[in-house]
Structure 1
Amino acid sequence: MTTPSLSADTPRGRMYRLEPDGPLMYPSITTVAGARAKDFLQGWYATMASKRALDMYAWLDRNPQRAPREISRVTRDRWGAQKRIAAAAPEYTRSAADFGTLVHTACEDWGTSGTRPDAARIGEIIEQMRAAQGCFSAEKDAQALIARADVRLDGYGRFLDDYQPEFLEIEQTVVNHTVGYAGTTDAIVRIGNTVLSADIKTSKKVRGDYALQGVAVCRAELLLDDDGTTREMPELTGAFVIHLPEAGGYQAVPLRTGDAEFEVFRSLRAAWSFEPDECALEAASGPKDLLLSLLRSKGGIDTLG
């Protein structure tokens, strides 16, 4: 996905402005949805780290003449070796995200121009991403990368043929002032007489928590353009994912976007605002000060008369 001009990365995740050069006001939909606990990732991180460690060991086995020097280097720089092993999962995630952005950008290009990007155009997008964000720096075979993207575009083309969507908005930012969030949907489309939010995903599978992103778009209050102008939000019947898997083809996967899903999203938004460091107050000087501090923190200081 191309980066929305009103958004910026922060230590607390991506946030949005409401006007160019204005202050960052609201967390992004993906930032809020990402606050949900993902305990399964701990095991995956450990698996990726152990795999990299085994790969390093296998390299030593394949290069016995260089093993003593490499072992000596690792022994001298244990912290550096640990960081390299621990970085396996984040590097994989970044690589997958960069590829997803490439496919999103190519699909956006297709939607705005009406013409499928050819290999040369995909190559241009890759070079733009590399120059602007340092993406694909480890990719040694540009043609293989283009071919991988082309497979996803084959699937996207089949979706366009089968569903004949009318694109009402492409890469459109939406905002909800009541709850306090903003985000960008890949497209708002009309299929038949139904208006829907559509997001393109290149992940291995369609995860259920994508519904949190979908319901947040459906419950947005306004469309927000790059110049800060707001427009009326169309009434969306729902949201779905255009899944473009590595093996090719596509799936159109509907998402549940009811009250229950939105209540979860609202709760995550409230949790995002929570500042834990502010909850530990100054140490009490005695029993009376302890009681005063507790009552004051709960708004009950008036009960002391």
Structure 2
Amino acid sequence: MTTPSLSADTPRGRMYRLEPDGPLMYPSITTVAGMRAKDFLQGWYATMASKRALEMYQWLDRNPDRAAQEISRVTRDRWGSQKRIAAAAEDYTRAAADFGTLVHAACEEWGRSGTRPSDADIGQIASEMRSAQGAFAAEKDPAALVDRARVRLDGYGRFLEEYQPEFVEVEQTVVNHTVGYAGTTDAIVRIGNTLLSADIKTSKKVRGDYALQGVAVCRAEQLLDDDGTTREMPELTGAFIIHLPEVGGYQAVPLRTGDEEFEVFRALRATWTFDPDQCALDPAASPKDLLLSLLRSKGGVDALR
């Protein structure tokens, strides 16, 4: 599957260890890139919640004989109903992520074996994800799920045919000790005489902030294998997205991976380290105590002596 063995989810996001059973050391590239403010999502969260609420009303309209019973249940369990409505965006995101993982796993297998996975192979991957992670629990039509994945693989097959990439690394973890991060690129490929980082995305569109992930891979210092072995990081010319949209086909989208993008990523890494809870100090007992506390916080206590 596509979950790197050296990584683990934590309350602060996904993190990486540098050797099996070692301590978690570095935040993942996606965790760091995710520190960027996403105020635009607030409106989407509200839209998804209101959509779920309307769907609940539509259910009542379609089932008038059960409406009174359902209204009574919702009224008795107001908190549970609120949580269900509020979780609409999270549920959608989780389902989209599970589907993306399914497509990634199938493409990973294709890249490793050189043979396109069959429908049965896709179904097996989905079944393993359901058993291990609880993925696709709400999926009522497994065949339709395979059909959706097949459309993405059709697009991926066209990319392979038209770009003829040579897979140098597949699902390879990289690490940067200087900045302090690690992450896993879907593939390092050679197209022509050029080495590139390639990431597969099944999102509705290619977002510009994917460049933060791409530049982090390009500026990594070492390759990190699952057993903790490090290898020399090849020089990458850049990074691109293999976009597999719902409608089918594909797009190969290059990303900007210059100094400006890396400086933004470095700043986000510093933001991840920052702990705002430590910035509110103990209440001051007097004006002198207030000034001393402020000076100590800046390392300037000696100025009062």
Q: Does the alignment reach a TM-score above 0.5?
A: yes
Q: What does residue 285 of structure 1 align with?
A: 285
Residue number in structure 1 paired with 2:240: 240
Sequence identity, in percent?
84
Residue 153 of structure 1: aligned partner? 153
CA separation in 2, counterparts of 1:55 and 1:141?
20
User: Counterparts of 2:282 and 2:236 in 1: how far apart (Å)?
Assistant: 49
Q: Which residue matches 2:62?
A: 62
Q: What is the one-letter code of the residue matched to 2:219? A: R
RMSD over equivalenced CA pairs, Å: 0.7
Deviation for aligned residue 1:124: 0.8
DSSP-derived class of the 1:260 partner: helix
Q: Which amino acid aligns with 1:267?
A: A
Corresponding residue of 1:163: 163
5 Å matches for 1:1-305? 2-305=2-305
Deviation at 1:304, TM superposition (A): 1.6
Deviation at 1:223, TM superposition (A): 0.4
Separation in 1, partners of 2:289, 2:122 = 66
* TM-score (structure 2 length as normaliser): 0.99
Question: 2 CA distance for matches of 1:251 and 1:65?
Answer: 49
Structure 2: stretches of 5+ with no match in the other structure: none
Which runs of 5 or more structure 1 residues have no equivalent in the other structure?
none
- 1:288 deviates by 1.3
Q: Secondary structure at the match of 1:151?
A: helix
Aligned-residue offset at 1:114? 1.1
Taking the aligned partners of 2:23 and 2:222, their CA distance within structure 1 comes to 19
Which segments of structure 1 move beyond 4 Å, counting only runs of 4 or more? none
Aligned residue pair count:
305
User: Using the alignment, how far apart are the partners of 2:292 and 2:51 within structure 1?
Assistant: 55
Q: Which amino acid aligns with 1:154?
A: D
2:239 counterpart letter in structure 1: A
Give the CA deviation at 1:230: 0.6
The amino acid of 2:251's aligned partner reads Q
Deviation of residue 22 (structure 1)?
0.6
User: What's the offset of the Cα at 1:302?
Assistant: 1.1
1:214 deviates by 0.3
Cα distance in 1 for residues equivalent to 2:137 and 2:70 = 24
For 1:192 and 1:243, the matched residues in 2 are separated by 20
* TM-score normalized with structure 1 length: 0.99
Q: What's the secondary structure of 2:153's corresponding residue?
A: helix
